[in-house]
C-alpha cells in the first residue's frame, strides 16, 4: 500500500462501522468539566472528529463528551446515502433518526456541529463509494446520482442544521485519480451548494482538500507542483478553505516539517482557512512510514495551534481525541496512534497543549496573531 492510500484511509475509513455506535445521552447525564479561562483569546474553535476509541455506543458518546469539555465542535462524517435519494425512493426512518441524533448529541453538549458528506471511496478516491449495483462504476455525471447527492446535502442541512457542511472530503485526490469524475463532482457540488444555501442560508458550505496531496509532496508518488488552481472551480460557491493534513505520513518527525508549512495558503486565497481534520502520529509507523514519538506529536500540535492563531482560523479539528483501539490490523493500524489520549484515556504529551489551548477564551473576532503565548514548559 502506498502513502496516498494511507492518507485516503484517514477520513472515512470507519464511517460504516460507526453507524451502529451512534447514540445520544440525556442532557443531565453529560459529564461537565468546569473549564478555567486562561491565556490570550483564540479565534478558532477546537474539536474532534467522531472517531471513537472503540466500536461501542458508549465510546462514541464519550467522543462527544470529550469534545464538549475540551473544545467547542464535533465533526460527524458519513457517506452519501444513495439508496435513500435515488428515483422512487425516500429517506428511511433510520437515516432520519441518525441525522437527528447527531444534532441532538451536539446540542445537548453545546457543541457546534460540522458534518462531512463524502461521495468518494476513502480507499480508492477515483470512484464513488457505496453505489447500488445498478450504478456501479458511474460518476456524478449520471443524472440520478447527481440528484441524489444534492438531495442528501439538502436533507442534512434541513434535518441536522449543521453550522458547517463539507460536501466531499479530500476532493483533490479524486482529481489525481479520475479527472473526469472530479469534473462531474464539481458540477454536482456547485448545484448542491446553491440548494443547501436555499434550504439553510446560515450553513457554511465547502469541499475538503487534502493538503499534502495539494502540495504534491506525497512520497512514493510522482511529485507535482502545488495545484492551487483547483480552487478556481469553486469561486463563488465556497465559504471557507477546509484542509485535512497529516504530515507524519510524509515526514519522519515533526522537526522535519518545513517552517511555514501552511504559510503559502494565505498567498493563494482570501478565504478563511480551517483545519477540517489534522493529525500526527505519536508512535513509529510500520514499514518505516515515520519514526514519530509523543514529543514529536506535541511539537506538531504546538505549531498547528500557532498557525491557527496566525490565520485566525474558524476551527481546528483533531482526527481523534483518543486512539482507536480497534485499529489493530492492516491498514487500520496506521491510525492507531493519532489520538491525543491513548485508548485507555491516559493523556499523551500533546494533551497539555490541547488542554491549555482549550482554556483560552474563544472569541471569533480575535484578529490574526502569532506566535501563541504558551507556558515555557510547553515548548519541551
- Give me the pLDDT at residue 284, please: 77
pLDDT at 80: 98
CA distances to 82, 308, 361, 370 from 156, rounded to whole Å, are 13, 28, 30, 36
Closest of 228, 244, 239, 157 to residue 206, by C-alpha: 239
Instruction: List, in sequence order, the alpha helices (H) in the chain.
Output: 3-10, 15-18, 57-69, 82-85, 93-108, 143-159, 171-177, 179-199, 211-215, 265-268, 294-311, 349-359
Q: How far apart are CA 319 and CA 13, in angstroms?
A: 12
Q: Measuring CA to CA, how many Å separate 61 from each of 27, 117, 156, 350?
A: 12, 20, 20, 23
CB atoms within 10 A of CB 333: 13
Count how many domains the chain has: 1
Q: Domain containing 331 — which CATH number?
A: 3.20.20.80
d(C-alpha 372, C-alpha 41), whole Å: 10
Per-block mean pLDDT, blocks of 10 residues, the chain (380 long):
46 48 57 90 98 91 97 98 96 96 96 98 92 97 99 98 98 96 99 99 98 91 92 98 95 93 94 98 75 93 97 98 82 81 95 98 93 47
Tell me what pLDDT residue 377 has: 45
Q: What is the pLDDT of residue 356?
A: 98
Instruction: Please give the pLDDT value at position 10.
Output: 44
The dihedral of CA 206, 208, 211, 217: what is its sign?
A: negative
The H or E element spanning position 74 is: strand 73-79
pLDDT of residue 30: 75
Q: Give the side-chain half-sphere CA count within 13 A for 211.
A: 22
In this structure, what DSSP letter does residue 366 have?
Answer: P
**Could you tell me how many helices (H) and strands (E) the chain has, helices first?**
12, 11
Q: What is the pLDDT of residue 9?
A: 45
The answer to whether the beta carbons of residues 114 and 140 sit under 8 Å apart is no
User: What is the pLDDT, as a whole number, of residue 11?
Assistant: 42
Residue 113 Rama label (left phi>0; alpha psi -120 to 50; beta)? beta
How would you classify the pairing of strands 241-245 and 208-210? parallel
pTM: 0.91
Instruction: Give which of 103, 242, 109 is closest to 170, Cα–Cα.
Output: 242
Whether the Cβ atoms of residue 119 and residue 168 lie closer than 8 Å to each other: yes
What is the residue range of 312's domain?
Answer: 3-379
Amino acid at each position: 500500500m502506498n502513502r496516498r492510500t494511507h492518507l485516503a484511509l484517514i477520513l472515512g475509513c470507519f464511517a460504516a462501522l460507526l453507524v451502529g455506535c451512534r447514540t445520544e445521552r440525556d442532557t443531565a447525564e453529560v459529564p461537565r468539566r468546569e473549564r478555567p479561562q486562561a491565556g490570550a483569546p483564540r479565534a478558532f474553535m477546537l474539536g474532534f472528529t467522531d472517531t471513537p476509541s472503540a466500536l461501542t455506543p458508549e465510546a462514541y458518546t464519550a467522543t462527544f463528551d470529550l469534545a464538549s469539555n475540551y473544545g467547542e465542535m464535533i465533526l460527524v462524517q458519513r457517506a452519501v446515502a444513495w439508496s435513500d435519494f435515488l428515483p422512487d425512493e425516500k429517506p428511511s426512518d433510520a437515516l432520519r433518526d441518525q441525522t437527528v441524533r447527531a444534532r441532538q448529541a451536539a446540542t445537548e453538549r453545546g457543541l457546534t456541529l460540522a458534518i462531512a458528506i463524502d461521495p468518494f471511496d476513502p480507499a480508492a478516491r477515483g470512484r464513488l463509494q457505496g453505489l447500488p449495483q445498478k450504478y456501479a462504476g458511474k460518476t456524478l455525471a449520471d443524472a440520478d446520482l447527481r440528484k441524489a447527492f444534492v438531495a442528501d446535502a439538502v436533507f442534512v442541512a434541513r434535518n441536522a442544521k449543521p453550522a458547517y457542511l463539507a460536501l466531499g472530503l479530500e476532493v483533490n485526490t479524486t482529481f489525481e485519480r479520475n479527472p473526469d469524475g472530479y469534473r462531474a463532482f464539481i458540477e454536482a457540488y456547485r448545484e448542491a451548494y446553491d440548494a443547501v444555501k436555499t434550504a439553510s442560508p446560515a450553513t457554511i458550505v465547502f469541499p475538503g482538500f487534502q493538503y499534502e496531496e495539494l502540495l504534491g509532496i506525497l512520497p512514493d508518488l510522482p511529485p507535482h507542483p502545488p495545484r492551487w488552481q483547483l480552487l478556481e472551480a469553486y469561486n463563488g460557491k465556497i465559504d471557507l478553505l477546509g484542509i485535512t493534513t497529516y504530515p507524519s505520513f510524509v515526514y519522519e518527525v515533526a522537526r522535519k516539517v518545513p517552517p511555514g508549512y501552511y504559510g503559502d495558503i494565505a498567498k493563494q486565497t482570501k478565504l478563511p482557512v480551517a483545519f477540517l481534520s489534522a493529525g500526527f502520529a505519536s508512535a513509529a509507523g510500520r514499514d518505516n512510514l515515520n519514526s514519530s514519538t509523543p514529543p514529536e506529536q506535541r511539537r506538531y500540535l504546538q505549531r498547528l495551534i500557532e498557525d491557527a492563531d496566525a490565520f485566525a482560523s474558524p476551527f481546528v479539528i483533531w482526527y481523534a481525541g483518543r486512539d482507536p483501539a480497534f485499529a489493530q490490523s492492516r491498514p487500520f493500524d496506521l491510525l492507531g496512534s493519532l489520538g491525543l489520549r491513548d485508548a485507555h484515556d491516559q493523556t499523551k504529551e500533546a494533551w497539555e497543549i490541547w488542554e491549555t489551548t482549550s482554556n483560552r477564551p474563544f472569541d471569533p473576532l480575535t484578529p490574526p496573531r502569532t506566535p501563541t503565548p504558551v507556558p515555557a514548559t510547553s515548548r519541551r
